[in-house]
Amino acid sequence: MSSYLIAGRTPLEGEVRISGAKNSALKIMAAALMVPGKVTLTRVPRITDVTLMAEVLTRLGAHVESDGDRLTIDASGELSDETPYDLVTRMRASIQVLGPLLARLGRARVAMPGGDAIGSRPIDLHLGGLERMGAKFTSEHGFVEGVADRLHGTRVLLDFPSVGATENLLMAAVTAEGTTSIENAAREPEIQDLAVFLNRCGAKVAGAGTPSITIVGVPELHPGSHEIIPDRIEAGTYAIGAAATRGDVTLTDMRPDHVELLQLKLEESGAEVTRGDDELRVAMSGRPRPLDLVTLPYPGFATDLQPLMMVLLGQAEGSSILTENVFEARFLFVDELNRMGCQIRVEGHHAVIRGIEHLSGAPVRAPDIRAGAALVIGGLCAQGETEVFDIEHIARGYEDFDAKLAGLGAALTVRQ
């Protein structure tokens, strides 16, 4: 594993172009398995998770080619129904091939994803919904195996608006017989993007982006092309990075309407936020004001930005309370921030953050994508030098992270 060496007290300043959304690209790649022909995707981020998903599709029998940010996927040949353990453990989003495989082949065998650094991540809602559509599942030797002669439309009411379950059900319903409705569906922009892509390929999906999605089954999808939406979490990372380092950053080619609550929270903390049609400028001069923040499914405050906000609030003039409602173990990296001098106490799913004047550079370890990015931003704020280990996690989700930060004035070097 390699590390970043980061010189502290460097405000981020300048312009950064936002890449395509990881969590949209991965699902749309999985959906391409349902298309018996060539799909062309553009603005696909060059990140490790996309490479892994391309490997999943290739092992399933699709032909995948990439050229810069353009990816073509041709799943017209014979497909296998099995997604191996080594890939699912390396990337949990591999589970998103379950719905498309059931729809296309009538069977799927996918390794059960285990927990990961952000908590236990069951797939009961995915399986329960697919069962209502006629699939039968057995689980043996660490694999879940599903069969369905032909999925049929039904009404599924989710216990919780799970992003992954909504997407798996949405994909499976596209070629099912009859009409499916998903209630209490997740409303994330990436789900809307998936629906836009599927509709371009002949699907009939309405209501994506609302809690009630209706899908009228069609016999078959046809080839299509699609540009992935900008990554709101990457945008949020640089926006919070600007505020935390007391810098001035303009995010370009992005969707300000996908990060509205973040804009409000940054303003509440004392940042100056200027919104354009497809850009956002965030500037901060003094110490942030403390905030109370609660993570919730979209349009609530994104759990993926919670670790970044912890770095900002860690330097606030006063105490903040941050409540994590989506992933139980997402506070585990707090110990790393406390190594950098932060005063954060975790009680259940609440964190009490007593702001300090300066973080102090230290060696720390990135446990996952978002906490990794947060520790790097923490290093840029800190007095002295910080070394962030295990940065491979960061490359899973951020395109050109070090180059983009260097373009904003950060002094960081990679150590192999």
Binding site for ligand EPU (CB under 6 A): 22-23, 26, 93, 121-126, 160, 162-165, 186, 303-304, 326-327, 369-370, 397
* Phi, psi dihedral angles at 263 (to 5 degrees): -60, -45
Q: Least separation, in Å, of the C-beta of 213 and ligand EPU?
A: 15
Q: How far apart are CA 339 and CA 334, in angstroms?
A: 9
Q: Which of 69, 116, 231, 278 is catalytic?
A: 116
299 cis-preceded (ω within 30 degrees of 0): yes
> Toward ligand EPU, which CB reaches closer, 26 or 377?
26
> Toward ligand EPU, which CB reaches closer, 369 or 377?
369
Would you say 106 and 149 are in contact if contact means Cβ atoms under 8 Å apart?
yes
Q: Least separation, in Å, of the C-beta of 195 and ligand EPU?
A: 15
> Toward ligand EPU, which CB reaches closer, 266 or 326?
326
Is 257 a residue of the active site? no
Q: Least separation, in Å, of the C-beta of 22 and ligand EPU?
A: 6
Strand arrangement of the beta sheet that strand 385-389 belongs to: 363-365, 385-389, 3-7, 412-415
> Toward ligand EPU, which CB reaches closer, 49 or 81?
49
> Toward ligand EPU, which CB reaches closer, 210 or 343?
210
3-state secondary structure the chain: CCEEEEECCCCCEEEEECCECHHHHHHHHHHHHHCCCEEEEECCCCCHHHHHHHHHHHHCCCEEEEECCEEEEECCCCCCCEECHHHHHHCHHHHHHHHHHHHHHCEEEEECCCCECCECCCCHHHHHHHHHCCCEEEEECCEEEEECCCCECCEEECCCCCHHHHHHHHHHHCCCECEEEEECCCCCHHHHHHHHHHHHCCCEEECECECEEEEECCCCCCCEEEECCECHHHHHHHHHHHHHCCCEEEEECCCHHHHHHHHHHHHHCCCEEEECCCCEEEECCCCCCCCEEEECCCCCECHHHHHHHHHHHCCCCCEEEEECCCCCCCCCCHHHHHHCCCEEEEECCEEEEECCCCCECCEEECCCHHHHHHHHHHHHHCECEEEEECCHHHHCCCCCHHHHHHHCCCCEEEEC
Q: Least separation, in Å, of the C-beta of 98 and ligand EPU?
A: 11
> Toward ligand EPU, which CB reaches closer, 290 or 301?
301
> Toward ligand EPU, which CB reaches closer, 71 or 163?
163
Q: Least separation, in Å, of the C-beta of 58 and ligand EPU?
A: 19
The residue at minimum Cβ distance from ligand EPU is 164
Q: How far apart are CA 49 and CA 392, in angstroms?
A: 11
> Toward ligand EPU, which CB reaches closer, 22 or 104?
22
Which residue's structure tokens are 């395509």? 20
Would you say 399 and 46 are in contact if contact means Cβ atoms under 8 Å apart?
yes
Q: Least separation, in Å, of the C-beta of 41 and ligand EPU?
A: 16
Q: Least separation, in Å, of the C-beta of 110 and ligand EPU?
A: 13
Q: Least separation, in Å, of the C-beta of 292 and ligand EPU?
A: 20
Q: Which residues are catalytic?
A: 116
